[in-house]
C-alpha cells in the first residue's frame, strides 16, 4: 500500500495497515511529517516502488490532482479520504479529460478510482496525533461510480475492513448532502458560537459551563482544511445553514414580541428533543437512556483511576463519562453514565468508599 499524505488520517491508515502486517509506503510534501510518520512506525518513504492500493489523504482542494497523478503512475486501485466527494469526482474527470458524466466510461484510469471518506478524526491534525485504532468500529463511506471495476471496488472494501471500519456505499451526491448536515454544519455552528466568545470580557468567560465547552469543542479546527470542505460542498452546506438560521430567526422574532411568545421556543426545544432521540445508540443500536451519577473528585493525580476502579467493583458498566472542573476550586465533577439497572449499586459502592455524590440525573 501507498499512503499519500502523512497527516492525522493518512498516518492513522498507515498505522492500522502496519498493525495488520502489511507493507506500507508513505509520501508527503512535508519532510517533517514524513519523518514523524516514519518514526511512529507508519511506513517507509516511497521511492517509486509498485503498489497495489494507493490511499490519497491530502487536503480536499488537492485531492483530485493527487489522485490523477497516482492514476498516471500505473496500475492499482486509488482511493481517498476527502470529506467532500462530488467536487473531487468532477475535478478528477476534468483532469483526466472526461469533463462530462457521459464521457466517464472512456477513461480506463477512472475505473480504478473509488471515492472514500472515513468518518473519524480529531480537532487537531498531524501525524503525532495518529492512532491505529482511529477507524475501529467507524463508518467509512465509499462512493464508487457505476463504471468502477469490480476489482477496484473490492480492493477499496478490503482496505476499509483492514483498517477496522465498516464500509458504507452511497453516491457522491448522497454523501455530500448527508455530511453537510451531520459534519459540516456542526463545524460552522461551533465556529460561529465560539467566535462570539472572542469579544466577551473575562468575567463572562469565568461562567462558561460544560454545555458551551461541549458545543464549541470542534471550533479549534484547521481553518485551511475547513475552507476547502465548506467551499467544496457549498450548495448542500448553504441549504443546511438556511434551515438552521430560519428556525433561529423565527424564535428570535417570537422573543422580541411584547410579551415574548413562548410557543416558538417550546416548539424548537421539543423538535430538538425529537431529533436527538433519533441519534443511534451504542454500537449503532437503538437509543437508550442512561442514569448519570455525579461524583466530586479531588483534582489530584490518581483520583480518576481510583474512581473508575471503585465503579468497576460495583459491577456497573460505565458507558460514558464527562468531566467538569469547578472554577477556583481544586475539585472536579465527574459524571458517570450507566444503565438504570446499575445506578443504585454504583451509588452505594461509591458512597461506602468515601466518595461525595450529588443528585442523580437521567440522560438520553
Beta-carbon-side half-sphere exposure of residue 304 (alpha carbons within 13 Å): 15
Q: What is the pLDDT of residue 177?
A: 97
Q: What is the pLDDT of residue 104?
A: 41
Q: What is the pLDDT of residue 80?
A: 98
Domain definitions of the chain by residue range: 2-170, 177-276, 287-363
Overall fold of domain 2-170: Rossmann fold (3.40.50)
- The rounded Cα 174 to chain-centroid distance in angstroms is 18
- Its sign, for the CA torsion 231, 233, 234, 239, is negative
**Which residues are paired to 332 by β-bridges?**
297, 325
Overall fold of domain 177-276: 6-phosphogluconate dehydrogenase C-terminal fold (1.10.3660)
Q: What is the pLDDT of residue 277?
A: 86
Q: What is the pLDDT of residue 226?
A: 93
The pLDDT profile of the chain, 364 residues, written as one tens digit per residue, is 999 999 999 999 999 999 999 999 999 999 999 999 999 999 999 999 999 999 999 999 999 999 999 999 877 999 999 999 999 999 999 998 865 554 444 466 789 999 999 999 887 789 999 999 999 999 999 999 888 999 999 999 999 999 999 999 999 999 999 999 999 999 999 999 999 999 999 999 988 888 898 899 999 888 999 999 999 999 999 999 999 999 999 999 999 999 999 999 999 999 999 998 888 866 566 677 789 999 999 988 999 999 999 999 999 999 988 888 766 667 888 999 999 999 999 999 999 999 999 876 655 5
User: For residue 336, what is the DSSP state?
Assistant: E
Nearest Cα to 141, choosing from 176, 102, 98, 96? 176
Does the fold of domain 177-276 match that of domain 2-170? no
CATH for the 287-363 domain, from 3.30.70.260, 2.40.40.20, 2.30.30.40, 3.90.1150.10:
3.30.70.260
Q: What is the pTM of this model?
A: 0.81
CA distance 16 to 12: 6
Q: What is the pLDDT of residue 99?
A: 58
Furthest C-alpha separation in the chain? 73
CA distance 179 to 243: 15
Q: What is the pLDDT of residue 103?
A: 42
Nearest Cα to 28, choosing from 13, 152, 89, 134? 13
Cα distances from 108 to residues 57, 98, 146, 239, 359, in angstroms, run 23, 11, 13, 35, 65
Amino acid at each position: 500500500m501507498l499512503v499519500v499524505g502523512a497527516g492525522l488520517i493518512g498516518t492513522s491508515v498507515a498505522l492500522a495497515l502496519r498493525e495488520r502486517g502489511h507493507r506500507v509506503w508513505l509520501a508527503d510534501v512535508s519532510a517533517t511529517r514524513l519523518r514523524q510518520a516514519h518514526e511512529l512506525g507508519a511506513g517507509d518513504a516511497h521511492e517509486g516502488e509498485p503498489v497495489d492500493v494507493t490511499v490519497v489523504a491530502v487536503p480536499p482542494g488537492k485531492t483530485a490532482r493527487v489522485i490523477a497523478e497516482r492514476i498516471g503512475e500505473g496500475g492499482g486501485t486509488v482511493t481517498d479520504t476527502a470529506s467532500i466527494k462530488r467536487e473531487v469526482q468532477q475535478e478528477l474527470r476534468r483532469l483526466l479529460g472526461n469533463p462530462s458524466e457521459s464521457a466517464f466510461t472512456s477513461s480506463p484510469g477512472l475505473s480504478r478510482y473509488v471515492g472514500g471518506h472515513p468518518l473519524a478524526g480529531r480537532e487537531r491534525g498531524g501525524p503525532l496525533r495518529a492512532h491505529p485504532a482511529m477507524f475501529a468500529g467507524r463508518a467509512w463511506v465509499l462512493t464508487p461510480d457505476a463504471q468502477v471495476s469490480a476489482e477496484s471496488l473490492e480492493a477499496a472494501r478490503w482496505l476499509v475492513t483492514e483498517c477496522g471500519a465498516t464500509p458504507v456505499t452511497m453516491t457522491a451526491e448522497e454523501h455530500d448532502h448527508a455530511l453537510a448536515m451531520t459534519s459540516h454544519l456542526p463545524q460552522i455552528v461551533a465556529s460561529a458560537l465560539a467566535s462570539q466568545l472572542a469579544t466577551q470580557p473575562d468575567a463572562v468567560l469565568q461562567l462558561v459551563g460544560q454545555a458551551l465547552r461541549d458545543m464549541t469543542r470542534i471550533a479549534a479546527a484547521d481553518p485551511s482544511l475547513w475552507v476547502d470542505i465548506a467551499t467544496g460542498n457549498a450548495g448542500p452546506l448553504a441549504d443546511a445553514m438556511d434551515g438552521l438560521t430560519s428556525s433561529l430567526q423565527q424564535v428570535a422574532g417570537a422573543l422580541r414580541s411584547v410579551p415574548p411568545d413562548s410557543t416558538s421556543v417550546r416548539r424548537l426545544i421539543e423538535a430538538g428533543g425529537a431529533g436527538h432521540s433519533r441519534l443511534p445508540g451504542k454500537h449503532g443500536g437503538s437509543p437508550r437512556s442512561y442514569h448519570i451519577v455525579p461524583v466530586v473528585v479531588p483534582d489530584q493525580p490518581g483520583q480518576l483511576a481510583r474512581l473508575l476502579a471503585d465503579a468497576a467493583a460495583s459491577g456497573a458498566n460505565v458507558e460514558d463519562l464527562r468531566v467538569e472542573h469547578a472554577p477556583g476550586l481544586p475539585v472536579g465533577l465527574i459524571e458517570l453514565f450507566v444503565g438504570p439497572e446499575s445506578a443504585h449499586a454504583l451509588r452505594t459502592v461509591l458512597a461506602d468508599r468515601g466518595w461525595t455524590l450529588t443528585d442523580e440525573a437521567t440522560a438520553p
